[in-house]
Structure 1
């Protein structure tokens, strides 16, 4: 608006109808106040209109941007009803811009600056009225002003008005990559990823808009897809971006890696990482930690260790989760020495080891057959970090006792577990019985089994197998028979018992058990069959030297 001096006259309300650029405009009111207009009065009027504007009635408008305006007889008439658009919250409504201004200033650049100032100060209604007034005169603001107005509308939660301004900008071919990014992000936040993707695909079909796409637009959509773990669409956008000649930025690759890792697409995450390294982009802490996680899940511990060392040399600080995951991965690969080096590095970074750390280290020692070291580490944990003891740590220690045949140590650890109130599974009792088996202590093994049943822990297949083996080695034949009669018929029980009886020289008992096994329709394994055939050949040679009356008494064994 421009200041002008007029004679003192009463306030006039001029009603006129004007057609401009195929838009029918009705009841446009030009108001002229008496007296002298100055810049301060202009600002007061804008503030007053701003307040009045948000209190005025609202109606839902249709495209084109400024609505399908019919001719009314009274410009001050109020709409019959109020309708809230579904795309915005109920407290956010569509502005009903009915007023336009008589503009003496016709310089588009000056008017664009005015819209820019109004938008930056969040005077939404005044900015829209000025834009509408310019359009009626065939004047159009520049791209910067339109983007600022669009940003102001979206910032105020007025998405539908923002969409109308966006359509206006598309019609006038004054969009940019920043315009597309603003509207796509707002649509994704208000209506979800799928709606934003549909809008993006529609833009791709519009050549005028697609030409405005830049890397930032693709980054916006990759980020939107990443938030809902839509890795397929993120991958498509990545490929389309490269096909359209746009180079990815550091943000592009960070978004891709994050999206792929969250979706479990570790190979794609590593591909994006390799491309990021080839393009010599700087790697941040979060991205490198995500890549280490992807490497570990793919079993590439050497690459994970290399990236870990690269982080340290770059002055970055891996978090405790990454350190624990790397220690666990190295332990599973049999690299116990490297696992403990990472553990020392973890402590130097100021991270305190937790139960996961101790479990990874104990497991690494066990896999490396360093059973004594595993037991020493458990004692160290009990002494310095007693609060972090758990079921898994004790189980690894029990397995180490089983390998070393330390039945007394295993029983002691079992008592400690029970005294601490831990829930003990059959596996823990099995490890103790296995330690007794290794030490050839059948009586102790039977006592552990009895205690296990007393604690209402149901024995499983591994329990009975260990008991059978240790009782056979201890020549406790009655106990062997009792175990076979008590347990459910299982081919592994019979195989273990027959093989043990044969090795202990009790061939007749083995044959009887073999016959019983076949009657139960259980198939022997290769070792059992070979032992029985071997012993039958010995019997056959004795059988040929017997009298016919003795031969008739021999029972036939069915294979």
Structure 2
């Protein structure tokens, strides 16, 4: 593939537009997005136009690193130039919007697809169902599934796994398990998606014996557990206080050749930290060094430091600089993991600092990151700051999800502002999110405390 520098003499030649397009695609392939955007600016200044392929590369590349609004701007520019985007590109952009919680933009894009006569496919519907289930939007989920059926699309294992999760999150765990019978009757095989959803359902409701039994059955039937399977089992054993079993699973996962992601590592060490088992944290970290990617060690070392409050990486700027000095690309996911680590330790200023650094680099925070900040302020008893993040979410065009509302309700309960909880509960219902079991429990607590006051 052709490449060029910004002062390449070939830019003045007849094929300079083609060379620009080639080079922009090359930049996207190697992750040099800033240079790609710089070349785009130079290209437009000379009156040249991006090719459909270059638009696709740029939009997908920017979306992959969380620069969603820039991706959306280029998408609109592509349409205005008379080029019709392919369905795959639309689906990529939809997924990026919904990952950020930008439901309004996603729905708007669906309308544009209809206007351009770009037919939705199975993946389009799956993207929305995945978002609606995670956001706790029960009515929207069933509406999308029913529309999907009317269009002639069949429910596959992914869709059934989402239905299981829907029942799970709304307190109907026995009904979730009952879906398995329907799956078998329809001849759909129990693949990894379905196993993971059911295992997670058992775990969430404390049925850890059932979860492990299903895990063993999964392996016997030749369905290889993935990182999601292991994460779920480890997480729920930690929540139930069985850290011995959680650590055993953590070790087994690595022996199976799967390196733990930072989120599950943080779950384990934070629970160990609460019990003051610093030696076990250190031992767990040291044992990982012999199994994973050397560049990733820096992330885990920093998480150990933050969790242990040793002081070396209590400054977010120094922390991110240390990661970069190890040659690690700090992605949107890494930013979220760091913000969560600071949030769990009540280090609110540093959690906010991570957000500021992230935004300064052109990466828009997603709904997960902002929910973490609400949690950080809530844990620190600073309910007004938690509320300000909630308002920021709405002002930014994002759609608060069920986690946003329940985390904010928890913040108000911690600060003994019980009268605010019913207000947030009503806002949740009005928004289209269905209150889950946790939200209903918090509402009951708040109402009980208000009744005692009177």
TM-score by length of 1: 0.38
Whichever structure has more helix as a proportion of its residues is: 2
Whose radius of gyration is greater, 1 or 2? 1
TM-score w.r.t. the length of structure 2 is: 0.45
